[in-house]
Structures are given as structure tokens and as C-alpha cells.
Structure 1
């Protein structure tokens, strides 16, 4: 081969070596980054909740009778003391000719009994007058010595017995008069039942509020204590959430709450009470959980949640920790320090230093589902790698593909 051919061969080999070196040379790992910045950090407990009324009133029948149809509908507003239902007497007898004749006969019988008692009263009055006359005559003769003392005592007892007989007859006449009135009322009810049933008892609302549910809307004969309708004041709406016992320990009375996912703008709330007794609930996976009810007051103005009703499903986030002007980073950038690393144990992040990734231990104050509060180990403005994959390591070249927006 000539010298020229050797030169061409050497150049070709050099080009091939350069191509192989470029092809197999390590390339920088593409990463996404976030920025460490000062801001507000909040940590809390998030759970589903449900709205309910603090006070719910069930209006029931105060006595047994015929309930007229309730015209109120769900959502109607009523004032305290307003008539919400009417209960009238219910009459069992059938309105037929036999019943009418029986009541007429009963009235005639009671009137005849009154006449008989009146005659007895008159006879008792005559007997009392005779006994008193005999007693007066015996007393006069006894004063002259013509009547024995025993005879005088017998006349006095006879007068007393006649007085008692008259008293009994007068009492019987009063009883007979009441029976006549009772028979007359029963006859009136059979002849014209509608006129009698117009009188009834008005059932009144105990409080001002809205009708939540009409239990018995149709006219019917109801027994004592039958629920008729439910009333409530929507201004006393509250939220109840069932938290795990471990989370409920962080939800102290007075803790601020953010209420979302109800169909409107987020609402402000505040924990009013954490019930002292827990209960067992089976989760969707069949696991037994100990939960506690947490009662939350809605602190936003009523106009902001006017459309919210009773039994609505909402989401609550109870703020258990809040700090202003602290250093925060995306929580996806934080990971445990790998075992065997000389940095020790704890949490760390990868910081972008030029075109290299540097493993940096950090001390965390707290974290939530989006952010991590960094106490020490980072400076404001540092770029950290989020979701680092297995290729990222300390000192590896990286190329920033995109930067996550700050939250």
C-alpha cells in the first residue's frame, strides 16, 4: 500500500473510533426540578364529611285522632307557634239507620230515667216533710210527758234517714242529667258528624325553621306519638367527619378547617368538638377501624353556603400545623438516604449544581401531600430534582428537562 492509502486508512479508523466513543459515552440524565422557596406551609388531616343540623325537631301527634291532610311541603318555612297540622276526633260507629235508632232510643231512655228520678226526689221530699212533722209532734208530746224517750229517738232517726234518701235522689238526678247530655251528643254525632268533627286540636311548630321531611302527608287516623313532620333551622348547619383515632388526636377544638368538594367555593370552618368515645367501622377493604366523630362549625358567611343542605357530602381538611415564611420544596423531591451511604441516615434531596446532581441531606419539619418544610440543609432558590429515577446518583450529569411550577 502506498503512503496515501495508509493515510486514508488511518483517518477512517480515527473516525470510527470517534463514532464509537460518542455512541457509548455517558449522556446526562434528563430530570425535572423544583425550586426551594419561602412561603406558607400547612399540614392537616383530610377526610370525607357530611352536613347535618345541630338541632333536629320531630313534630308528633299529641293525641290519637283523625289527622287532616298536611299541606306543607319540604323546604317551606314556618314560624314558631304556627299551625302545621290539625287532629280531629275520630268516631268509630257507622252512620247507618240502626245506629241512629239506637241513639234515639238511648236518648229517650235517659230522659225517662230523668223523669223517674225526679219522681223519686219528690217522694223523698214528701217523706222528709212527714218525718219532720212527726218529730215535731213527738217533741211537743215528750215535753208534756206523754211520749217515751225511745219513741222520740226513733222519730229523730226516721227524719235523718229521710234526709239521706233525699240527698241520694238529688245525686241520682244529676247523674241522669249527665247521661241525657251524653246521649244527646252521641245522637248529634251520628246525625251530623261533620259539624262535630270541625272542632279539633291544632299542632303547632315548636321552633322557626324549614320543613325537612313530611312523614305523614295524607289524611289518616293516627295513634298517639305518630311522627308527622321534621323541622330544622338551616342556619345551624354543621359538618361531622369520622376520623381515625390517630388523626383525631391532632384535631383539637378550635383548629381551622377548609371545607371543599361540596359544589361551591371552599368554605372556612372550625372544629367545635371531638367526641370522647370511638366506634368500630369496617372499611371498604374489610378492615376494622376505630374512628371518632369530629363536629365542625361553618365559619363562612351564610350567603356563601346558602345552597348547602342537610346530608350533603363534603371534604374537610383540618389544619393541624401552619407556618409562615418557611422554606418549602415539592414533597416528591424528598427520599430516605440510601443505606450504606456515608451521609448517614435521614432524608435527602438531589440538588442541581451546574450540570451535576449532588446528594444533600436535609432536616424536615413536616410535610403534606404537596410540600415539605425544610428546616435546614437547603438555601432559598436551590433547584431540587423531583421524582428522581434510578439513574440519578451523587455526581451524575443531569439535564433539566422542565421545572415544576411553584405551589
Structure 2
């Protein structure tokens, strides 16, 4: 430094001290500082790969009891949960009453009765006429019988008399049948007037009983009050709640990974410990379901059976919620790291290990993953310390300082 600059600094030592402090602070500020990181260790532990979906229980054999006839049901005294036995009468159905005749309908019915009576009288007169014709033809045929033997009448005349007799007898029988038909039509017309809901009747109406097909409980009551029902209308649902299965709808992409006999773990059903089950059937037909986010998804029903003792899940009923975990893969001692320690590097995966308080980039080969942890096939060994949740400031060779928990 030129002497003309050194001389003033000697005369003013405070300026020299300030300059030295500024240089020291700048050096300290730009000096590389260790990055504060969270660490974890590579370990061996059980690893399970599952597919998790929400499901529900359902009765295996559900019977929908429908009305066998049109009629009026009595008031339902059974409630949901009531026990029933096979063959027990659950309710009765009374046939519908006749309609009330308004003045116009009653006048038409009376006119139909009068017409039926006149038709009956006409049919009777026609029957009398047919009877007389048949008797005449019969007498004629009897007169010709001795004459044909003596050759007094031709064979053609005799055959014609025989045919006329047979035809007259058939006409008489037809007329008698028309009398019976006219009589029945008169009875039908009289019935329309006689049986009306507006008139009391002493006739005991037959009640159709509806019985239970199995021993079980009432699962659903479609109607509780008395009222009209039609043939095939649902009245009750009966089932055995002790015979339950699990129904879970999964994405079709996950359904192809599930196989019959696969283990199922049932959580969050209300009990203290998870329940066990086995997949029985994957239905071959999918359906479209809209998710909570409004996305259409293709879903498939997977049916499973309980394998846990009955006393552990006997409090469950039809339609209870469960969370099912389908176990795709499981091993007890697996070398693994948290998925949060992994990051993409080139075409594979890598982690940052810690050596001499510095970060070292290490590529790894992964195996099974379950979302939280990943299996390490190569690149790490048990006990290695790695960085969990590496930030953008962590690079290969950077100094590190472990965050204290």
C-alpha cells in the first residue's frame, strides 16, 4: 500500500479497526455453512404391500319377500331386528274389495242385468224350438227304418232322414249350452250389483298368508301401515346376520392384482383389534362410480369371508363400515428406507448418505414399495445413515449438521 495511505490509517486507528471487522464479517458471511438436515438409518423390518379401500359387511343370503297377489296388507307388527323362524307367518294379504258404484255405473249395471235376463229368455225359446225340431227329425227317422227294410223308400231318402236327425240333435245341444251361457252372464251382471264396497257383506274373505323362508332376522320393512299392494311389490327383507361377508369396491386397475385366497386385514370396524379374512371372489363385471372429486372411476366388487373367530365380529351387522387391506406382498426382515428419503436421479432412484458430516449421493435399486417405505435391493446396507426429506440445498459433498429431535 502506498505510504500516503498508510500514514492516515496510523493516525486514525479506529478506521483501521472498523475495516478489519467489515472484512471479517464478510468472510464469515460468505463462508460455506453446514446444512441442517434430518437423518434416519437403513434398517431391516417387516414390510407389507397392501391395497386399501373402504368396504362394508353384508348378509350372504338375503331374501326379499314380495306380495304374491294384489290386495290389502294388515298393519305390520314386526320390526327390524326381530327374530323369525322358517315357516312363520309374517303377515296376511286380504284380496281387494269391490269398487263403489257411482250412479252412472249402477245404472249401467242394472241395464246389463236386464239385457242378460232378456238374453236368457231368448236362449230358452231358441232351445225349445231346437228341441221341437230335433223331436220331429227323430220321429221321421223312426218311420223310415221299417220302410227301408221293405224297399218302400230309397237308401238316399233314408240317409237324408238320418242326417237331419243327427243335425237337429246337435242344434238342440248347442241351444242348451247357449241357455247356460246366458244364465252365467246374468249371474255376472247380478254380482256387479250385489258385491259393492258401499254395501256390507257377511261373506268371510280368504286371507293369503306370507311366511318366512328361513330362520333369521328382519333386515328391512318396506311398509308398516295397512294399505294396498300389487303382485311382486317388496314387503320385507329377511336374512341371517350371523352369516356375513365383506363387500369392497376397488379400482379395476387394482382388482387385477387381487386373487382368490388372498389375505385381507379389516381395520377401523369398531373393535380393539383388526379382523382377518380371505378373498373369495372378484366379480368379473365392473361399474362406473363418481369419486368425491367428481372423477368417474371404473370399480370392481371384491367379496371376502371372515377367518377370525365369530365371537370377535359377532357385533357386526348388515351394512357396517370396515377398511379392508388386501395383502399383495409381505416379508418379515426387509432392508428398507422411508420413501421420503428417495428422489429421482437420472433414470433411477438415489439417496444422500452421510460420511464425515458431508452428503454423498448414492444410487439404489428398489424392490417392493408400500407408499411409506421402500425395499432396498442394492446400494445400501443395514445401519447406513441417510438424509430424510432432503431439501434443494443438499448436494453431493455439502457439509451437514444433524437436526436434534
TM-score (norm 1): 0.68
Aligned length: 376
Q: Choose which of 370, 379, 399 in structure 1 pairs with 2:372.
A: 370
Distance 1:389 1:216 in 2: 64
| Correspondence for 2:228 among 203, 221, 224 | 221
CA offsets per residue over residues 291-328 of structure 1, 9 Å max, x none?
23141303334443334444444333222222232223
Aligned to 2:328: 320
Runs (5+) with no aligned partner, structure 1: 1-12, 403-407
The alpha-carbon deviation at position 40 of structure 1 amounts to 1.6
* CA pair 231-386 structure 1, distance change in 2 beyond 3 A: same
Q: Is contact 2:286-2:301 (8 Å) kept? A: no
User: Would you say 1:89 and 2:65 are equivalent positions?
Assistant: no
1:216-275 deviations in Å (ceiling 9; x for gaps): 333223333333333445424332223163x34433444323222333342323344445
CA–CA distance in 2 between the matches of 1:360 and 1:279?
A: 45
CA contact (8 A) 1:278 1:290 kept: no
What residue in structure 2 maps to residue 379 of structure 1?
A: 381
Distance in 2 between residues matched to 1:96 and 1:283, nearest whole Å:
56
- Residue of 225, 245, 251 corresponding to 1:243: 251
Contact 1:363 1:375 in 2 (8 A): yes
Cα distance in 2, alignment partners of residues 326 and 146 from structure 1: 125
1:73 and 1:211 in contact (8 A); partners too: yes
Find the partner of 2:277 among 241, 246, 269: 269
RMSD of the TM alignment (CA)? 4.8
Give the corresponding residue for 2:313: 305
Question: Is residue 212 from structure 1 mapped to residue 184 from structure 2 by the alignment?
Answer: no
Match for residue 69 of structure 2 among 58, 63, 67: 63
Native 8 Å contact 2:350 2:361 kept in 1: no
Match of 2:46 in 1: 40
Distance change (3 Å), C-alpha of 1:289 and 1:109 = closer
Going from structure 1 to structure 2, the CA distance change for 1:100 and 1:79 (only over 3 Å counts) comes to farther
Q: TM-score normalised to the size of structure 2?
A: 0.68
Write the distance in 1 (CA, Å) between the matches of 2:370 and 2:359.
25
Matches within 5 A, 1:115-264: 132-133=138-139, 135-140=141-146, 143=149, 156-157=162-163, 159-172=165-178, 174-175=180-181, 178=184, 189-190=195-196, 192-193=200-201, 195-196=203-204, 198-205=205-212, 209-234=216-241, 235-243=243-251, 245=253, 247-264=254-271
Question: How far apart, in 2, do the equivalents of 1:380 and 1:333 lie?
Answer: 15
Contact 1:275 1:292 in 2 (8 A): no
Secondary structure in structure 2 of the residue aligned to 1:163 = helix
The aligned residue for residue 3 of structure 1 is none
Q: Is 1:33–1:386's contact at 8 Å kept on the other side of the alignment?
A: yes
> CA 1:84/1:368 → structure 2, altered by over 3 Å: closer, same or farther?
same
Q: Distance in 1 between matches of 2:47 and 2:389?
A: 21
In 1, are the aligned partners of 2:336 and 2:375 still within 8 Å (CA)? Answer: yes
Deviation at 1:74, TM superposition (A): 2.6
Structure 2: unaligned runs, 5 residues or longer: 1-16
Deviations 1:365-386 (A, max 9, x none): 2322332222233333444443
Shift of residue 162 of structure 1? 4.7
Give the drift of 1:362. 3.4
Once residues 400 and 119 of structure 2 are traced to their aligned partners in structure 1, the CA distance between those partners, rounded to angstroms, is 121
Report the Cα offset of residue 164 of structure 1. Answer: 2.8
